[in-house]
Amino acid sequence: MRTAPTILHLDMDAFYASAEQAAKPSLRGKAVVVGGLGPRGVVATASYEARAFGVHSAMPMAQARRLAPNAAYLVPRFGLYREISEQVMGLLHRLSPLVEPLSLDEAFVDLEAGGTGWDEESARATGERLRADIKELTGLTGSVGLAASKMLAKIASEQAKPDGLVLIRPGTERALLGPMSVRVLPGVGPATGDHLRRAGITTVEEIAEAGEDELVRLLGKAHGSALYAMALAQDERPVVAERDAKSVSVEDTYDVDIHDRVRIRLEVQRLADRCVQRLRGAGRSGRTVVLKVRRYDFSTLTRSETLRGPTDDPAVVREAAGRLLEAVDTTGGVRLLGVGVSGLADFTQEDLFAQAAGERAEETEDEEAARQPEGEEPPPAERHWLAGRDVRHAEYGAGWVQGSGLGRVTVRFETPGSPPGRVRTFRTDDPDLEPAEPLPLVPGNGGHAPEPEPGTGPDGGEADGSGGGRGAAEGGRGGVRQGEEAGPSAGCEDGGGHSAGETGEHHTDGGAGTR
């Protein structure tokens, strides 16, 4: 264990909901819930105002609506959240080359490795400066924990919420941990917690008193020994800068069970295309295609097929997923579908199968085009206006969708830097109303991080936060599902008939957190 609190844990406060409040002046200080809006939707994040009503992440959206009927319910805007995450991770990489992202809104930083923290005073100063820089750059707040280990730094950031900083002095850890619930320790979930409770162990102090032998008897050698060490505040895990993704996958839960086999095949193809987009976005390829099907009775089936070589060809993944679907009985209906790729690599292998699949796809497109009567344009696709999404009107400017239905869409016209705006209603097919890209939360910053102030290292030299040039896009990487990741699906990126859409995206290149 270190002798100085030089491990920092950053956790953005109610990240998705706070970003929506910053973007929408009329929602500031009000209850906001972000997640899937369908009957089977799940809460991704709730603002602190909504949490006062008992709403929390991973809660079914129907239950959240009963608890807080007057809250604003919005679909997630993952593109915006990723942009903010990249900005924040860029600030972290200026502090140290050792940054370990856990999700879009959470990361560990080894300040000692960057020369930006070597004792209590310097670590606290760095943490406070980081919080100020995040506020200046994004307009959002983050909570910071500082301690001599990762476990304690994360506990400290929880105590600091919201918008605070807590430093745990070395030597005080046992007294701090003793009265806390066993659930505060990493690896103690509901099942382990219940197992310990039945043995009369409910606090960390009681774990320490039980002894290692008793913990091993209850939980097994590996888990019992590790838990006992953590109860003694012993955590030697290092901050790891790179964590290889093992798989990339997407899934959708449907408001109404799908029975039509043709519709199911089309959904699988759509999911396969989204999965490949994620795969290519991470610069990866994979050789094993995985299909996940949850049926009407909640039984979940997983099927996989290993290809001859790594691929990022959407036609190949579509065909493989289609073949896997043929082996699954969907007669009673399907409530969830997912497509994933594992066995990841940094390259693709050209093969005849991929080439042939692509050629067949092109031939199919040509045939479809040939069947279209000359001079006749296909009918325009119906536009869906999801609550929370950005729009722009030719006359009224930028705004966001408050709701839609019965052929009408209600828009509130305001921007992050404006006062609360007026509400207007339009036809859903109004030609002057178009979807738009999110505006910066802090107008004028252009997404650039403020220049770091040089610090003074323990040897009298400058601590300039080496490693700042590392790609901030790594910030979304991590491969560990935290909080978007501690429970069921938690957000709906593309709406339609789906619940929390990217929620179900168990991709390890950047899960969204549900804090």
Over the stretch 289-337, which tens digit does the pLDDT of each residue have? 999 999 888 888 999 999 988 898 999 999 999 999 998 999 889 989 9
State the pLDDT at residue 351.
41
Confidence label for 410 from pLDDT (cuts 50, 70 and 90): very high
Residue 484 has pLDDT above 60, yes or no: no
pTM (predicted TM-score)? 0.71
Q: Is 105 annotated as a binding residue?
A: yes
Contact predicate 279/64, CB 8 Å: no
**Domain 172-232 superfamily per CATH:** 5' to 3' exonuclease, C-terminal subdomain (1.10.150.20)
Please tell me which residue in 83, 106, 493, 502 is annotated as part of the active site: 106
State the pLDDT at residue 451.
52
CA 154 to chain centre: 18
Q: CA torsion, points 79, 85, 91, 92, in degrees to nearest 10?
A: -150
Clarify whether 106 is annotated catalytic: yes
State the pLDDT at residue 39.
77
Structure tokens at 452: 């770091």
Rounded Cα gap, residues 157 and 141, in angstroms: 12
Q: Are strands 72-74 and 32-35 parallel, antiparallel or unpaired?
A: parallel
| Residues linked to residue 167 through DSSP beta bridges, in sequence order | 146
State the pLDDT at residue 377.
54
For 247-349, CATH number out of 3.30.1490.100, 3.30.950.10, 3.40.50.300, 3.30.390.50 equals 3.30.1490.100
Q: Is 11 annotated as a binding residue?
A: yes
Out of 316-330, 332-346, 393-407, pick the least confident.
332-346
Confidence label for 242 from pLDDT (cuts 50, 70 and 90): low
Rounded Cα gap, residues 473 and 282, in angstroms: 10
Average pLDDT over residues 68-95: 95
Structure tokens at 443: 């107008």
Confidence label for 241 from pLDDT (cuts 50, 70 and 90): confident
- The architecture of the domain spanning 7-167 is 2-Layer Sandwich (3.30)
